Amino acid sequence: MKKFTLILLAAVMVSLNACQEENQYQAEESVIDKPDIQLTSDRMTPEVLWSLGRLSDPRVSPDGKTILYGVSYYSIEKNKGNRDLYAVDADGSNGLRLTLTPKSEFNAIWCPDGKKIGFLTSESGSIQLWEMNPDGSGRSQISDIEGGITGFKYAPDQTKIVYTREVPVNQKFEDLYEGLPNASGRVIDNLMYRHWDTWVDSYSHIFIADYDGKKVWNDKDLLAGEAWDAPMKPWGGIEQVCWSPDSKAVVYSSKKLVGKAYTLSTNSDIYLYTLDTGKTENLTEGMMGFDLAPVFSPDGNYIALESMERDGYESDENRLFILNTKTWDRTFATKGFDQNVGSLQWAGDSKSIYFTSDVKGTFQIYQFTLNNGNINKITEGLHDYRSVTLAGDLLIATKQTMALPTELFAVNPESGNADQITFTNKDLLDKLTMGKTEERWMTTHDGKQMLTWIIYPPNFDPAKKYPALLYCKGGPQGPLSQSFHYRWNYQIMAANDYIIVAPNRRGVSGFGQAWQEQISGDYHGKSMQDYLTAIDIMAKEPFIDENRLGAIGASAGGYAVFYLAGNHDGRFKAFIAHDGIFNEEAQYLETEEIWFENWDKGGAFWEFDNKVAQGAYKHSPHKYVQNWDTPILIIHGEQDFRVVFTQGMTAFNAALLRDVPAEFLYFPDENHWVLQPQNGILWQRTFFNWLDRWLK
């Protein structure tokens, strides 16, 4: 269930032409700009959290001098957000705001010659390709494709573009609907009919079209007549498609399966489409896990990609593989590394690859050198570098911490030293007091060493006694790192005078694959003991009130909360579970990615000879509800198809039938997350209202 982000300072200058265009847009529809929030204290609040700009998707100009990026701001009053484009030089100078419009601009990239910036926006009624000059002037529409497009990339020679758009699913039962234009029923005869938060009514397909700098035409569907996604939903985008340097071929990721086969397998592959012949080749046939994110080397001699080994295991080690385009030999580049790789970036000379990797609760930048296979760790520190790209002799990386939303940093690849080059939220953050983050290593019940993050309230006073919250991570695999989250935000919890205890329990990545895999088939075992170890050790501290402990979590963390509610021996005085799994047997049949359940539970609940599966279902949280006696807040969204909302509803009903104080915060229009500003603020207010009632 694993698997994702703003304005420069106010002194940024905007060109005259861009201003004239902006005034025109403002006359038609009001824009969403940086909020002018009046602080009432120096503490983080829900309103402040939703006022922060969210930076994402940096793109370096072909000459390596200028960084293009986007910033999203949200209007609480309008209950929506908007994204505009900015640029800054690699040394942090010459910041420029490029757009200020009521329609978001995204997928913004440089033309290969650096003379234009291409981007997507829905200004004309559907999402189309537009272009503008590097200063934001000269905005014009380039494509007019029926139904709109979802992503694009220029060919290196600028004679073509590759783009993606949605293609409707063929209606097998179309004749049944004849004369019934208002019928809302769906006739379904296969699995994977909905995914995460959408019904599967269309596939994402890849198209190649001619391009002359003024328009696109003569497009061709690379997957014509094929009933599968490329790129893959829900996480895959145009980053899963890459041009060859000579503009003669495209590589892309796809899992060419449908229905039941799709929901049981993670086996995606990398495909090569050659323009001259129209031929498609599978480059990773026989590699059975996820194969993703292909990237050609600048000289065209290699393709780097991310690859998992085992089919059905979405949290397998994410490895770096390199394909030789002359021989198609495959090299497992990070063999023995025992860490994940991501954000692959070739060096300009094609002799090495930069990437990010999670390690011990952080994300760092690494470099793999082809000629000797060496892997060099470039950066150190308590931070997350989540993407990396090349700008001349520097690396441009997105960096965040538990107290700093994403910003751009210029990193020296030799020393690892970094200079911040964007300051999106500086004026607001300078007015806030943040809590300290501390790393503690604890000895678990079975003698292992476990890193636990402790986040203290601002102006922490060790002479006082504070309530504490055990943070139960979702996933259940994946990192518990230095991310700045806009809902499960440690700083806003600390600002409400709670100490947060966040253990990197069994199942968390960044501590070797063996540590991560100890949770599969054993949600109820070692990881639960790890949670209790962490909170028991911290409860002995003189500044923590052992009689005011709470446990909180979402998704697999919600499972943990539900399980602990029946197995905590009076430790906790309040619980909060968001989108949590309550009934494992129901979850197996309600969810859509059955590969996940088969791997993490060991199989189906009707496999009575399967000891792993039977052990997992035996310890489903709902089988301990007779022990519930502690107040619990349950939150769920109806558009969550991954963990359906009836899981939260049944848990809430069970609590009330047990006469346990409970509340149910239900969102009919949210999915596995809470994405709308007013819903997000309601979430935070309800969250702290519940905790304050029972822990203060």
Residue 37 confidence (pLDDT): 87
What's the pLDDT band for 3 if we cut at 50, 70, 90? Answer: very low
| Separation of alpha carbons 206 and 209, rounded Å | 10
- On whether the CB atoms of residues 457 and 499 are closer than 8 A, the answer is yes
Residue 171 confidence (pLDDT): 83
Residue 14 confidence (pLDDT): 30
Structure tokens at 497: 């005078």
Residue 574 confidence (pLDDT): 98
Task: Express as a percent the part of the chain with pLDDT over 70.
Answer: 96
Q: Is the peptide bond before 476 cis (omega within 30 degrees of 0)?
A: yes
CA 574 to chain centre: 29
| Separation of alpha carbons 72 and 32, rounded Å | 9
Per residue in 74-83, pLDDT (tens digit) is 999 999 999 9
- Pick left, alpha or beta for residue 371 (phi over 0 → left; psi -120 to 50 → alpha; otherwise beta): alpha
By residue count, the chain amounts to 696
DSSP bridge pairs for 166: 204
Q: How big is the chain by its Cα radius of gyration, in Å? A: 25
Residue 509 confidence (pLDDT): 97
Residue 24 confidence (pLDDT): 38
Residue 6 confidence (pLDDT): 31
What's the rounded mean pLDDT across residues 31-59?
94
| Separation of alpha carbons 28 and 21, rounded Å | 11
- On whether the CB atoms of residues 207 and 162 are closer than 8 A, the answer is yes
Structure tokens at 102: 């009521």
Biggest CA-to-CA distance, the chain: 75
The answer on pLDDT for 13 being more than 90 is no
Per residue in 174-197, pLDDT (tens digit) is 999 999 999 999 999 999 999 999
What is the DSSP pairing of strand 198-199 with strand 202-211?
unpaired
What's the rounded mean pLDDT across residues 277-303?
97
- On whether the CB atoms of residues 81 and 93 are closer than 8 A, the answer is no
Residue pointed to by tokens 């470039």: 378
SS3 123: coil
- Residues 498/500/501/506 CA torsion (nearest 10 deg): 140
What's the pLDDT band for 170 if we cut at 50, 70, 90? Answer: confident
Q: Which residues contact 448 (CB under 8 A, 6 or more apart)?
A: none
- On whether the CB atoms of residues 410 and 491 are closer than 8 A, the answer is no
Distance (Å) of CA 402 to CA 388, 489, 508: 19, 8, 17
SS3 650: helix
Backbone angles phi, psi at 262, to 5 degrees: -65, -45
SS3 217: strand
DSSP bridge pairs for 254: 269
Residue 122 confidence (pLDDT): 95
| Residues 181-220: b if buried by 16+ CB within 10 A, e if exposed | eeeeeeeeeebbbbbbbeebeebbbbbbbebeeeebeebe
Distance (Å) of CA 558 to CA 6, 338, 616, 654: 31, 28, 16, 15
- On whether the CB atoms of residues 255 and 228 are closer than 8 A, the answer is yes
Per residue in 204-214, pLDDT (tens digit) is 999 999 999 99
The answer on pLDDT for 5 being more than 50 is no
What's the rounded mean pLDDT across residues 472-480?
97
Task: Express as a percent the part of the chain with pLDDT over 90.
Answer: 93
- On whether the CB atoms of residues 105 and 83 are closer than 8 A, the answer is yes
SS3 367: strand
Structure tokens at 119: 């981007």
What's the rounded mean pLDDT across residues 458-480?
97
Reference 470, options 530, 361, 552; nearest CA is 552
| Separation of alpha carbons 530 and 521, rounded Å | 16
CA angle 205, 207, 208 (to 5 degrees): 160
CB-CB neighbours of 47 under 10 Å: 16
Residue 28 confidence (pLDDT): 47
What's the pLDDT band for 17 if we cut at 50, 70, 90? Answer: very low
Under DSSP, the state recorded for 646 is H
Return the minimum-mean-pLDDT range out of 144-148, 168-172, 479-483. 168-172
What's the rounded mean pLDDT across residues 1-11?
34
Q: Which residues are catalytic?
A: 555, 640, 672
What's the rounded mean pLDDT across residues 629-646?
98
| Separation of alpha carbons 101 and 25, rounded Å | 6
The answer on pLDDT for 305 being more than 60 is yes
- Pick left, alpha or beta for residue 71 (phi over 0 → left; psi -120 to 50 → alpha; otherwise beta): beta
How many CA atoms within 13 Å lie on the side-chain side of 480?
A: 27
CATH of 433-695, one of 3.40.50.1820, 3.40.50.1980, 3.30.530.20, 1.20.1050.10: 3.40.50.1820
Q: Which residues contact 421 (CB under 8 A, 6 or more apart)?
A: 67, 88, 89, 90, 91, 92, 396, 407, 408, 409, 410
Residue 673 confidence (pLDDT): 96
What's the pLDDT band for 16 if we cut at 50, 70, 90? Answer: very low
| Residues 336-346: b if buried by 16+ CB within 10 A, e if exposed | ebebbbbbbbb
| Separation of alpha carbons 687 and 696, rounded Å | 13
Burial of 141 (0-12, 13-18, 19+ CB in 10 A): middle
Mean pLDDT of the chain: 94
The answer on pLDDT for 12 being more than 80 is no
What's the rounded mean pLDDT across residues 608-629?
97
CB-CB neighbours of 171 under 10 Å: 11
Is residue 410 within a helix (H) or strand (E), and if so which, with residue range? strand 404-411
Domain parsing of the chain, residue ranges = 433-695
The answer on pLDDT for 116 being more than 90 is yes
Per residue in 410-453, pLDDT (tens digit) is 999 999 999 999 999 999 999 999 999 999 999 999 999 999 99
Structure tokens at 472: 């139960």
What's the rounded mean pLDDT across residues 132-149?
97
